[in-house]
Structure 1
């Protein structure tokens, strides 16, 4: 997919938000297009004044949600045997599917949220959720609240880096892990603070 990077960037530069939505849809449908490439470049375009942060976030989320739902239905309708047999024709690595399955087996539907903050697994987690035919409403909610901070953060990093946005691509998954750690710690911080405030409100 690396050889298509120039094409993807040109697509985003020409079609803007539509391209961001389409490519994020493909990425969340397990096509190996790095979200750092899509959202990182979109972040640069925000820096350059060619995009708006809010609209880019909406486009990325719409595409990501649609791609995730499609992948869920592929898992629900075809099952794991179907994905194992035909997934390779859609660039789905069996090892990635198996890793996502391990996460789902260990954490259940909660993995749909937490794995959205992790590289590789974040896109493949929709498959085991589909295999298990989890409640669609819960799947959509967990996908949304897990994908939103990732989408916004990568856009923000691309915007802050500006012309150096490709640094994220050079660092690769290590950068994703750092971003994931920051997001997890941030979520944990606000969750703990919310719990403490709730306890104080009850005591009062």
Structure 2
């Protein structure tokens, strides 16, 4: 039995027994960068929604709140204890300094928006809380960006599980193989949307200036 198979069976059994608290618990563990992949938890949550055992929006809320709890733990380690503590914590959960450096570079390049964008990229999704904390990002802003990214991610993956129905296991294995491409495509789409909105906003600001000149 592969690692993915073992996690799949563990998650499915726990969700059947615990329902919403199970969703909350598993997503809080993933949010704290423990090896509980949302790519398995969320589609299987959707499968239980399909079966009528869970309600869609309540499941989304449980998943989102769990993820926020976990990511606040990581953010707090970086914010209050600093980078050395992040590295010590990382060693306990088998994350190397190289992983942290990649995330720090991502945060340095994209600033606060990195917290939103990273939610769609495997591994960076949870690690981004550490550099945000060590950079002393305002917690309100961190939670706002995190919530938007987490909610969108949760809705998409839970809906995939609902849509797949009895074939939810196929969705899990499909995501396991293609998720990096999906994540980067989502980030690219968000960046493109931001650029288009910024350009449109800039054009609107230019219009009054041109009318003033003609007057």
Aligned-partner SS, 2:163:
helix
Deviation at 1:7, TM superposition (A): 2.3
Aligned to 1:76, which of 63, 76, 79? 79
Instruction: Render the CA deviation track for 1:87-129: whole Å, top value 9, x for unaligned.
Output: 2212334332222111011111110011111111011000000
Report the Cα distance in structure 2 between the residues aligned to 1:57 and 1:145, rounded to whole angstroms.
Answer: 12
Q: What runs of 5+ residues in structure 2 fail to find an aligned partner? A: 209-215
TM-score, normalised via structure 1 length? 0.86
Residue-pair matches, total = 202
Report the Cα distance in structure 1 between the residues aligned to 2:16 and 2:168, rounded to whole angstroms.
Answer: 15
Alignment check: 8 A CA contact 2:164 2:171 kept? no
Correspondence 1:13 to 2:21: no
Deviation at 1:163, TM superposition (A): 1.9
Query: 1:45: which partner in 2?
Result: 48
Indicate the RMSD between aligned Cα atoms, in angstroms. Answer: 2.6
Rg bigger for which structure?
A: 2
Query: 2:128: which partner in 1?
Result: 125
Aligned-partner SS, 1:165:
helix
Aligned to 2:161, which of 154, 158, 161? 158
Deviation at 1:52, TM superposition (A): 1.1
Deviation at 1:192, TM superposition (A): 4.3
TM-score, normalised via structure 2 length? 0.82
Report the Cα distance in structure 2 between the residues aligned to 1:193 and 1:108, rounded to whole angstroms.
Answer: 18
Alignment check: 8 A CA contact 1:32 1:91 kept? no
Q: What runs of 5+ residues in structure 1 fail to find an aligned partner? A: none
